[in-house]
Structure 1
């Protein structure tokens, strides 16, 4: 269990602050994460990595000479927001373009892609390589859908070495893709991890049993077996990985390979050494030549009791790059010539602090802004009430943090909206501030999607006059289209879209028929609740729950259920306020 924290909501920020203070030789803080505190050469490609916090040394611990130029660090087990990724990438950029690389999770893809679009729009060359090393998360024919786990290290290191050597962006991308194609990983767990402030772990494993094929965010394993001996575990790990050699490696016999035995949080080094002894024997028996073996913690999951094995199959160029010296807070190889320190000052931003500048608004819109604030108060209360239940729903086929993320996002949105409304903002500006704060603080897939939804609705409210029911319905319709485009989900995929589409359809129908906003919203909320409940009969086709599709049968989708809870709470506010 996690034992030390202050306010769990501030854990990630306080952790990053302490990390930077302890490692100023290597990193400095910028909004959204960290970048090197040393000077990188002009025109060098900047390799920017990232993901949720809670995986140390991934991701901030891998920033330094010879490895990453920056790391976008999201909240606990939640992807960084698009704004955070953009901020880190812009700070790391040295004129040679940016490579974004991260594990293949839905929230990370949404947010990193949005940041990439913004960088490109500003004339900064930017490319992306996602890490897909987890062999148990999808079959070989769908390896582009696989998750990224401890194989992050090999891809990040190969790409950064290419950048350090002076390769241009095109060649750095090619190296990163080749490294990813030649990396395979497989993990097991004996017990789940517990987030700060949580009373229970994200998942549990029965005593003397082992989860096979788990994810690093607490996603349950694909299978479960009795706990084997150390040698038995090595046999399982190596056997599975040798059964799927990458393209270009016809046989293990004669091939050169970097093995990475990774501890996931609470497995002791001594235990891993016992396992690695047998791993080395098996690789030798297969004829593989081991290069630079790694045994340690490279991508953890808080206190998760488990381990993973990564095999990185080298070619001549990748092996030359692998020898590039590295000096970071948590990972060092060879001797690096010290580089001069940056003169830049530390910059830290918060989601709800400092003065708020707002455009002019009339009295009617300012009154509507107060309704926005009341709606977000109800949303935050609802998430406080249901966060644990949403987490339990998410544990069944996901990573169990949906309730935590929704509560975090709702409270951040409320704080930002309160600041804007107090400063005299109209409805549009108030809700826009809330949208930005939700996306920033919640992170992950739901944070990105709720940011998109609130932003789309805000655009239809305006900062002048009283919004009508038709205005609000048009905003929700626009939000629905943007979510489907942004998240690439459709009705039937078992996501929040399954509740959002019928909600929007009914809201538009009732509003255009002349119903008041309160009446139209209430009818639409009922449609959302029915649709959310019906997702229990669906199998997930996209997102983090997809590898555990069968487990989710009989359970409603957490995202659809949380949407239904929110719109039901809003219906009460609109009815009480007499909105027409």
Structure 2
């Protein structure tokens, strides 16, 4: 368990403060994360990595010479927000563009995709590579759906070394995508991890058993088996990974590999060495040449007792970048030094990387290939842009803003009361942080909305500022989706009139459209859409029939409650719960439950005439 903390909600911020204080010669703090103390040479590519906190040395510990230029660091197990990512990227941009790289999780894909779109709009060329190395999370035919685990390090290292060598943005993106294509990982866990302030771990494993194929956010494994001996675990690892050697490796016959035996938090180094002894022997027997192996804690999960093995199949270019020097707070190799003032030399040529479709398809995207959003849905725009109005608010709209603030306050209170239960539901097949993330987002939303009302803002601007704060503070998938939903609702209400039933229906429908487009989910995927769509439809029908807004909302809230309960019978097809779909049967979706809870809380305000 996690023993040393102050207020659990401040843990992520305080750990970043401590990391920077301990490594002031290498990194400094910026809004949203950390960056190198030195600046990249003018015209070179900057590499920005990131994800939730709780995985040290990933992500802030991997910022330094020969590695990343900056890291956006979200709250515990929650992706950083688009604003955080954009802030870090702008701090390190040296004129050669920015490569964003992160693990393939829904929240990270959404927020990094939004940040990429916003950076491009600001004139900063940007590419993205999502890491997809976890073989347990999807079969080989669906590699783009796989999670990113310890293979993050290899991809980050390759991209950063290419940037140090003077490669241009397209070439750095190509190298990162190639490293990802050549990387496979597989992990096991003996116990789950416990977040600060939590009384129980996110999942448990019976004594004498081990979870097989678990994630790094407290997600339980896809199966269980008896705890093996160290040699038997090594054999499971090697057999699993050698069963999926990339096709181009098989064709060339070049069997060089970077090998990472990664401890997830509580397995001792001595145990890792015992396992690695057999891993090395088995790979040698298979004719694999090991290049500069790493044994230790590389990508962790708080205090999880677990181990993973990563193989990255190297060619000449990848081998050169894997062996290149690096000097970061938690990873050092060779004789790397802080960058000087001269541009590095090296090849600038490379195959440009362009992927069509949405950024939810993991891999490399060009600057327009983010998560399917339109510019009006970008979380992090100005309040006036979000609310769809730059005109001063009318008295009617300012009065409505007070009511909006009351509704958001009721939402915050309801979420705080239900946070523990929301986390329990989420932990069945996910990472258990839904209640925590929703609480952070709702609190920030109310604070921003209160400041907007105090400044004389109208209803639309009040919702827009609350939306931006929710997305920025909550992070994760739910943060992005709620930011988009409230932004759309605020734009529909505007600042010029008192919102009536038809205006609210327009806003709720716009929110549904925004969430669908941003998240890519449909009814039946076991997400909040399974509640939002029937709620929006029921509300529209009631208002069209002439029902007053409070009564119409109440009738639609009944539909929302029923729809949330009905998600118990669904199998998830998106998000972190997807690899553990069977485990979620019989349990409703946490996002659906929280939406129904929010709808009910708002109804209480509407009926309080």
How many angstroms apart in 1 are the aligned matches of 2:533 and 2:236? 45
How many angstroms apart in 2 are the aligned matches of 1:47 and 1:507? 46
| Pick aligned residue for 1:372 from 383, 396, 404 | 404
Q: In the alignment, does 2:474 pair up with 1:451? A: no
Q: Is the 8 Å Cα contact of residues 254 and 315 (structure 2) preserved in structure 1?
A: no
Q: In the alignment, does 2:506 pair up with 1:474? A: yes
Give the match for residue 347 of structure 2.
none
Give the match for residue 530 of structure 2.
498
Give the match for residue 456 of structure 2.
424
How many angstroms apart in 1 are the aligned matches of 2:498 and 2:93? 44
Moved more, 427-436 or 177-186: 427-436
Alignment of 1:165-314 (within 5 A): 165-250=165-250, 255-314=255-314
How many angstroms apart in 1 are the aligned matches of 2:555 and 2:325? 63
Shift of 1:232: 1.0
Moved more, 502-511 or 477-486: 502-511
| Pick aligned residue for 1:399 from 431, 447, 452 | 431
Q: Secondary structure at the match of 2:124?
A: coil
Give the match for residue 319 of structure 2.
319
Give the match for residue 154 of structure 2.
154
How many angstroms apart in 2 are the aligned matches of 1:483 and 1:338? 43
Q: Is the 8 Å Cα contact of residues 39 and 94 (structure 2) preserved in structure 1?
A: no
Q: Is the 8 Å Cα contact of residues 529 and 564 (structure 1) preserved in structure 2?
A: yes
Q: Is the 8 Å Cα contact of residues 253 and 288 (structure 1) preserved in structure 2?
A: no
Q: Secondary structure at the match of 1:9?
A: helix
How many angstroms apart in 1 are the aligned matches of 2:259 and 2:176? 18
Alignment of 1:459-538 (within 5 A): 459-538=491-570
Give the match for residue 417 of structure 2.
385
Q: Is the 8 Å Cα contact of residues 327 and 337 (structure 2) preserved in structure 1?
A: no
Runs of 4+, deviation exceeding 4 Å: 251-254
Shift of 1:423: 2.4
Q: Is the 8 Å Cα contact of residues 63 and 69 (structure 2) preserved in structure 1?
A: yes
Give the match for residue 572 of structure 1.
604
Q: Secondary structure at the match of 2:221?
A: coil
Q: Is the 8 Å Cα contact of residues 182 and 314 (structure 1) preserved in structure 2?
A: yes
How many angstroms apart in 2 are the aligned matches of 1:266 and 1:364? 58
Shift of 1:340: 5.3
Shift of 1:539: 1.1
How many angstroms apart in 2 are the aligned matches of 1:13 and 1:518? 40
Q: Is the 8 Å Cα contact of residues 467 and 486 (structure 2) preserved in structure 1?
A: yes
Q: Is the 8 Å Cα contact of residues 191 and 203 (structure 1) preserved in structure 2?
A: yes
TM-score scaled by length of structure 1: 0.95
How many angstroms apart in 2 are the aligned matches of 1:259 and 1:180? 14
Q: Is the 8 Å Cα contact of residues 43 and 94 (structure 1) preserved in structure 2?
A: yes
Change (3 A) 1:368 1:91: same
How many angstroms apart in 1 are the aligned matches of 2:166 and 2:340? 19
Q: Is the 8 Å Cα contact of residues 254 and 287 (structure 1) preserved in structure 2?
A: no
Change (3 A) 1:359 1:9: farther
Give the match for residue 122 of structure 1.
122
**C-alpha distance after superposition, 1:510-557 (max 9, x if no partner):** 223222221111111111111111111111111111111111112111
TM-score scaled by length of structure 2: 0.90
**C-alpha distance after superposition, 1:311-343 (max 9, x if no partner):** 1111111111222210101000000233359xx
Shift of 1:252: 11
Q: Is the 8 Å Cα contact of residues 41 and 339 (structure 2) preserved in structure 1?
A: no
**C-alpha distance after superposition, 1:158-192 (max 9, x if no partner):** 11111100111111111111100111000100101
Give the match for residue 139 of structure 1.
139
Shift of 1:483: 0.6
How many angstroms apart in 1 are the aligned matches of 2:437 and 2:29? 23
How many angstroms apart in 2 are the aligned matches of 1:41 and 1:265? 36
Q: Is the 8 Å Cα contact of residues 136 and 222 (structure 1) preserved in structure 2?
A: yes
How many angstroms apart in 2 are the aligned matches of 1:508 and 1:559? 22
Q: Is the 8 Å Cα contact of residues 39 and 92 (structure 2) preserved in structure 1?
A: no
Shift of 1:359: 6.8
Q: Is the 8 Å Cα contact of residues 502 and 531 (structure 1) preserved in structure 2?
A: yes
Give the match for residue 66 of structure 1.
66
How many angstroms apart in 1 are the aligned matches of 2:406 and 2:337? 57
Q: Is the 8 Å Cα contact of residues 182 and 247 (structure 1) preserved in structure 2?
A: no
In the alignment, structure 2 segments of 5+ residues that lack a partner are 342-379, 381-389
How many angstroms apart in 1 are the aligned matches of 2:188 and 2:337? 38
Change (3 A) 1:308 1:251: farther
Q: In the alignment, does 2:46 pair up with 1:14? A: no
Q: Is the 8 Å Cα contact of residues 458 and 496 (structure 2) preserved in structure 1?
A: yes
Q: Secondary structure at the match of 1:397?
A: coil
How many angstroms apart in 2 are the aligned matches of 1:395 and 1:389? 10
Shift of 1:370: 1.4
Q: Is the 8 Å Cα contact of residues 97 and 125 (structure 2) preserved in structure 1?
A: yes
In the alignment, structure 1 segments of 5+ residues that lack a partner are 342-348, 350-357
Give the match for residue 344 of structure 1.
none
How many angstroms apart in 1 are the aligned matches of 2:314 and 2:340? 33
Change (3 A) 1:299 1:252: farther
Moved more, 103-112 or 374-383: 374-383
Q: Secondary structure at the match of 2:187?
A: strand
Give the match for residue 106 of structure 1.
106
Q: Secondary structure at the match of 1:171?
A: helix
**C-alpha distance after superposition, 1:256-288 (max 9, x if no partner):** 111100110111111111111111111111111
Shift of 1:29: 1.4
How many angstroms apart in 1 are the aligned matches of 2:468 and 2:67? 31
| Pick aligned residue for 2:446 from 414, 417, 423 | 414
Q: Secondary structure at the match of 1:387?
A: helix
How many angstroms apart in 1 are the aligned matches of 2:182 and 2:597? 44
Q: Secondary structure at the match of 1:249?
A: helix
